[in-house]
Amino acid sequence: MFSSKLSTAVHILLYIEEYEQEEKITSEVLADTTGVNAVNIRKILGKLKKAQLVSVKPGVGGSYLAKKPDEITLKMIFQAVEESDHTLFKMHEHPNVNCPVGRSIKDVFDRRLEKIQVDMLSDMEAVKLSDLYQDMKKKLAKE
């Protein structure tokens, strides 16, 4: 199972898109809307900033989108906040090579997992922050 960093990062970016013109968006504001500790919000914001998805105004503070929502993909967000090696599935490290299953599991399983990872990241590339924002606006309009 993946961490909640992706959903938290998407929440942050959607909040910034919705309110950056109306209020100063600080880690405390984002902690309130996400229900995530402000320290963890700052860590995620740091990763999003490093990936050039957000910027923070020096001095007065406040977070802003560094790209247009239609230029930010779910894949970009995922790769910004998840671990740096981007290997989604890890093989157990020491299978018994004296066992036929242990000897073959890595070759048998790795290529399938690699394809799943490529497919998943490709699907994530097709989803833009602007798509998620429009979905959010449609949902809110129905309420």
SS3 103: helix
pLDDT tens figures, 19-43? 999 999 999 999 999 999 999 999 9
pLDDT band per the 50, 70, 90 thresholds, residue 59: confident
Which are the contacts of 8, defined by CB distance < 8 A and separation ≥ 6?
A: 34, 36, 40, 41, 44, 81
Region 86-111 average pLDDT: 86
Degrees, nearest 5: CA angle 47-80-30:
50
Arithmetic mean of pLDDT, 39-51: 96
At a CB cut-off of 8 Å and minimum separation 6, what does 57 contact? 64
Residue 50 pLDDT greater than 80, yes or no? yes
Q: Contact at 8 Å (CB) between 62 and 26?
A: yes
Contact call for residues 6 and 77 (beta carbons, < 8 A): yes
- Within 8 A by CB and 6+ apart from 61, the residues are 24, 26
pLDDT at 90: 77
Q: Flag whether pLDDT at 58 surpasses 80.
A: no
Range(s) of the domain holding residue 32: 5-142
**Percent of the chain predicted with pLDDT > 70:** 97
DSSP state of 20: T
**Per-residue tokens: 120:** 């998943």
Per-residue pLDDT at 84 exceeds 80 = no
Q: Domain containing 37 — which CATH number? A: 1.10.10.10
Mean pLDDT of the chain: 92
pLDDT digits (tens, 9 = 90+) for 100-130: 999 999 889 888 988 998 999 999 999 999 9
| Matching residue, tokens 């959903």 | 7
Name the pLDDT band for 85 (thresholds 50, 70, 90): low
Neighbouring C-beta atoms of residue 84, cutoff 10 Å? 8
Residues 58-76, mean pLDDT to the nearest whole number: 92
CA distance 119 to 15: 28
Count of structural domains within the chain: 1
